[in-house]
Every structure is written in C-alpha cells, then in structure tokens.
Amino acid sequence: MKLFEYMGKDLFSSYGITVPRGRMVTTPDEAAKVAQEIGGTVVVKSQILAGKRGKGGGIKFADNPEEAREATSQVLSMVLNGHKVEKVLVEEKIKIDKELYLAITVDGSAKKPVIIASIQGGMDIEEVPDEHIVKQHIDLPMGVPPFLCREISRRLGLTGQVGNEFNSLLPLLYKLFREKDAELVEINPLVISGDTLIAADSKVTIDDDALFRQKDIPYVEDRTNIEKQAHDLGLAFVELGGDIAVMANGAGMSMGSLDTLSHYGGKPANFLDAGGGTGMEGTVKAIELLLQTNPKVIFINIFGGITRCDDVANALIQVKKAREIPVPVVIRLVGTNEEEGVRIIKENGMEAYKVMQEAAAKAVEIANAN
Amino acid sequence: MAIIIDEKTDVIIQGITGKQGSFHAGQMLAYGTKVVGGVSPGKGGQEVEGIPVYDTVFAACEENQVDASVLFVSAIFAKYAAFEAITAGVKVLVIVTEHIPLHDEMEIVEFARRNGTTVIGPNTFGIVSSGKCKIGIPPNQFFVEGPIGVVARSGTLTYEIVGNLTANGFGQSTVVGLGGDRVVGLSFIDVLEKFEKDPQTKAVILVGEIGGNAEEEASLFIKEMTKPVVAYIAGKSAPPGKRMGHAGAIIERGKGTFDGKVEALQAAGVKVATLPFEVPDLLRQVLK
C-alpha cells in the first residue's frame, strides 16, 4: 500500500525526522490559509501515488496566499500520469544547500533490509551510477547501531553537525521501517539546509500483508474499480485493457496463460488468479468480474490440484443459468475431478479443452474474428 | 538420490486440524509420505487420518523422529509456528502459507539460518521427491520418479510443466517450490547446487517469473554447472509496476524484467522456452 507524500511526512514527523512545515489541503481556500500561516514562499505539491509530478506541472511555487490559492486551483483539476489530483500539500519553501538520497527497503536476494544512500539526491536513483551509491545490508538482530551510521556518514562524506544529524536520523528511519511494516521508505531529496537535514519528499510503501496490524495507518486505495472488487473477494486481479478475459488458478498459471494468449496474437483483458481452493462460490464471483471487462471471449485455464475441475465447471454453468453470458467461453480443464468437470461442460453444450495451447489459440481466434 | 527429502523423511504437520491441514494430511499419506504426527495447540490427543495430534512441536519430537515440518497455519500465526519448529530442532521447514508479512518472513529466514534449518517457502506448494515423499499440496498423480530436477517459483504453473514432463516420459528426481514471495528460504542457487551433486538428477528445469533478481543470480552459478538447464520464465506480458499475484512478481524501477532474466539465463547456456509446453522439446535437445 503506497502512502501519499503528506502521509509519509506525518509518519516521519512522528518519529522525530524533520519535514518542511505544511499541511495537506483539498480546496484553494484552505491552501491560502496554510500559506498565510506559513508566511513567505510556499510550494504547492499535488498528492498522487506516482512520481514525476514536476514534469506534469504538479508542483508550483507561490509567493503569497493568493498565488497559493490560484496554484492550488490549477493543480486540483489536473490528471497527472493517469492520476486525478484530489489533494495538495502546501509547505514552506526550504533553502536547499545540497540534496542527498536515503532509502531503506528489502533486498530479496540477501533476505535482509538494505540501506541505500547517495550524495546525488533529487534525481532518479536509477540514473545514479553505482560508484555514487552506498549500500549497506542490515543484520536484523543487530539493527542500526551508531557505528553503522558513522560509517555510512563517512562514505557519504558527511561531517560536522550535518554528519551528527544524519547519524541521529538513520536509526529513526529504520525504526519507522520496522515498526510500520514498510516495504520501502524513501527520502529523495533529503535536503541539507544549513546545518539541518530536512526530508523534502517522502515515498513510503506499507506491506499489504501487514495491514491487519497497521490499523493506525489510513487505507489508501490504488486500485481500479474491478481490481478493488476482486481484492475484496480475495482474488488477485490486474486490468490489462485487452479483449480476452482470463481466469486461471495460480499466479504463475495466470501469467503463463497471458503469455500463451499473447504468443498467438491475442490481447488479454486482465490477469486473474482465482487461487487454489476457491470453490464454486468464489468461481462464480470471479466469472462475474471477468464480464465487467467487456471481453469478446472468456478464457478459463484450470490445472486443478487443490482446485476441483467439477467445482469450476459447475460454477460456470451456474453463472450461465443465472444470467446470460454474452460471449463465448473457452475452458481448459485438467487435474482433480477432470472427468466430472469435462462431463458437466459437455452436457451444457460447450467444449472443454485438455491442451492449454489449443484452448488459447481458439480463444484468440474467436476474439480476433469479432 | 533425490534432494532434501526422500522415502525415509519423517514429517509432522503444523495446523493439521484445520481444513487445509487435514485434507492434505490425507493426500500426503496417500502419496506415501511418512507423516508421523501433527501439531495443533489444544488439540493434543486427537487423531487426523490416523495421525496423532500433539499440542506442541516439542511434544511431537519427544515421541517421534521428526525430520521435517510443513506449516498449514494462517499468516498471522506463521512466524511463531516457524520459530517453534526451528527451536525444537526440526531441520526442514516447508511453509505453504501465503500472505505472511514481509518483516515476519525476514525474521523467519534469519532465525532459521542461525539454527541451520532449511526453509522452503513461504507461499510454496512444497517439495516432492517423486516416488518417495511429498511435503505440501501438489496433486499426487503427476509426479513420477525420474532423472529431471525441477525448481520453481510458482505453483500451478509448475504442475502444468511437471504434468507435461511426465506425459513426455520425463520423470522427476525432486520438484522444489521456492515460493512466490519476495523473501524466501531456499533460492534457485541453493537448489541448483544440490541438483548438481545429486546422482539421480541428469538435467534441471528452472521455472521463474518476473520480479526480483533470483534468475539473474542463478545464471552465475549455472555457468559452472555440468548438468544442462532448461528454463521457462512467466510474465512476459506483465506491465511494470503491477503485482501479478505473487508478492514477489513485480517489475519495479526497471529491475526484474522478463527480458533481463532471459538474457542472463541464455548467456549462461540455458535454453529458455517461450511457452510452458515447449519445455519437453528443449529438454530432449539438451539431453542428446
């Protein structure tokens, strides 16, 4: 779950990490009020769950409350990178002497948290050459003790008061990372302003699987309508925009189905992992979801281990009886209770395939013919 | 012969009285796995499919030789269930559970490492040494003994590939499910090393997917292997930034792409199948 910048900054603040003075607002009037409180030049920053806001004009400066009102009015009507802007963060413009990069994330390969830091802040970290990136894995039982902070400061060339500030900040960031079940905490840029370090931006992602124990953090929706419905049903769903609706049991199986359909020239409408052991009710709901993508054909690919082929077949027939399925369905059934599943499909006037690539080719043929 | 588990492995099932645990206990027994006990706090003294249930892992270990444990506990309780098995000295832990919090997974893997415990998963279908022992949830009928080692990140896709192998006369030595999460215990390299040393294994199938850099890392080891490797990587059509089901299957910040993985594997001499059903043909080619 990605957090908006203002939410991440609130978290930083609560852990003792300095952020620019400011507040999130949703109207131009509120923006003017905040600008008045802060005094002087402010920055009006669109709050969306995507980067590159500046390029789209989503970050504006304002020298007085009236300009802040005007800038907010403009920004609130924008759609940046496909995201509608509904909130802005109005904050003080800070003096930037230098920009650093600091992040803590999980290195899957090392199976540990890792600190990533660089003196080239304020730009895309992917474009910073490796020689300018400092990486330090964190041993979980040890955490981030003072010596580790001093060493990272040294590698970044930070000295004096700024060095001390960095050594205080890093353990706080790590504490936040661990206590809030974060997948990523990123400060880019971490600004050196005189002798102080200020987190000028914030990118925090909370582990979706840990939300049950992070109830203090408000839920941030980042899914499309259909994706949200799927999630509420316990299904993994991604919209892809094509015309062949796809359902498979298992994430790898779903990806494999998409790959095979694409190979034959088809355009999948979605990724849907109906999961193992979804049962009939879940399968009915999954098929209903697929129909919302307005496909030309539905492709169901089941290799049943824990998933039973007869469950899937019965679900399909149930949906057919309850409401018309306005498009052809190509179904492939192999595995547990395969014979029973195929029998049910045939009894209802449909074909059931055994070989995945044959079923996929048929689905593509139907989609491209219409 | 075969790796990690074999016909002598004694297994306990944590969470045996739950819906999944009890169903798969029966399936594992039917496959021939030596399931010696189950653990479910407060249910000690009961029986599931004739298997004695204990209150704690220690209790199960007091009465039985226990070589491995499989976890069928919910995500919220998985960390301490794993810690319990590790503390009790169980040396192989198969964690089927999906949606375990990432930070819990890091802690499990770290604790296991310090205690010399092998962790398979989390979010795995398990491990099958065909013809000898099955720990986990894959369907029994597709796993037949033979010379092909299989190591995979995905579940049902692996059944598809194993099903194809069996249908083409290629039996398996051991099939290992690494799990679909970002942080897992055994990695591709760990398993490839074992296959390289295993006399029964003559070739290896690697089933990967987008996200992370496990396949790229594996390529470095594969260069040094004497046994041939054939791979299939899922997710060619996946858009960046979107999690494709598995917690670990996401292309982020330019890393973990399909093309990157295929390039790395091919540079190591691996034949990469474009589609799942091409694997047996490629295997035939490399075994000539």
**Which of A108, A263, A335 comes nearest B248 by C-beta?**
A108
Does A209 contact chain B (CB < 8 Å)? yes
Percentage of chain A exceeding pLDDT 90: 74
Selected residue of A180, A259, A262, A311 to mutate for chain B interface (largest B Cβ count, 10 A): A259
Distance separating alpha carbons of residues A274 and A303, to the nearest angstrom: 12
B34-47 pLDDT, tens digit each: 999 999 999 999 99
Beta strands in chain B (DSSP E): 10-14, 34-39, 47-48, 51-54, 68-71, 92-95, 118-120, 126-129, 133-136, 145-152, 172-177, 203-209, 229-234, 271-273
A167-189 pLDDT, tens digit each: 999 999 999 999 999 999 999 99
> Which residues of B belong to the active site?
246
Tell me the count of A-B CB pairs closer than 8 A: 166
> Which residues of chain A lie closer than 8 angstroms to B159, CB-CB?
303, 305, 335
Q: Min CA distance, A209 vs chain B (Å)?
A: 5
**A252/B246 Cβ within 8 A:** yes
A249 assigned ligand-binding residue: yes
The CATH number, out of the four listed (1.10.1040.10, 3.40.50.720, 3.50.50.60, 3.20.20.220), of the domain defined by the range B10-120? 3.40.50.720
Distance separating alpha carbons of residues B85 and A118, to the nearest angstrom: 41
Q: Identify the architecture of domain B126-287 in CATH.
A: 3-Layer(aba) Sandwich (3.40)
In chain B, ranges of CATH 3.40.50.261 domains: 126-287
The answer to whether A327 touches A297, Cβ cutoff 8 Å, is yes
Q: What share of chain B is helix, strand, coil (3-state, %, to 5)?
A: 35, 25, 40
Domains of chain A as residue ranges with CATH:
21-92 (3.30.1490.20), 98-213 (3.30.470.20), 225-369 (3.40.50.261)
Q: What is the interface pTM, i.e. ipTM, of the complex?
A: 0.92
Cβ burial, residue A192 (10 Å; 0-12/13-18/19+): buried
Q: Min CA distance, B139 vs chain A (Å)?
A: 5
Asked whether residue A278 carries a pLDDT value surpassing 70, the answer given is no
The pLDDT-based confidence of B253 (bands split at 50, 70, 90) is low
User: What pLDDT sits at residue A277?
Assistant: 56
Does A280 contact chain B (CB < 8 Å)? no
> Which residues of A belong to the active site?
101, 186
| pTM given for the model | 0.92
Does A249 contact chain B (CB < 8 Å)? yes
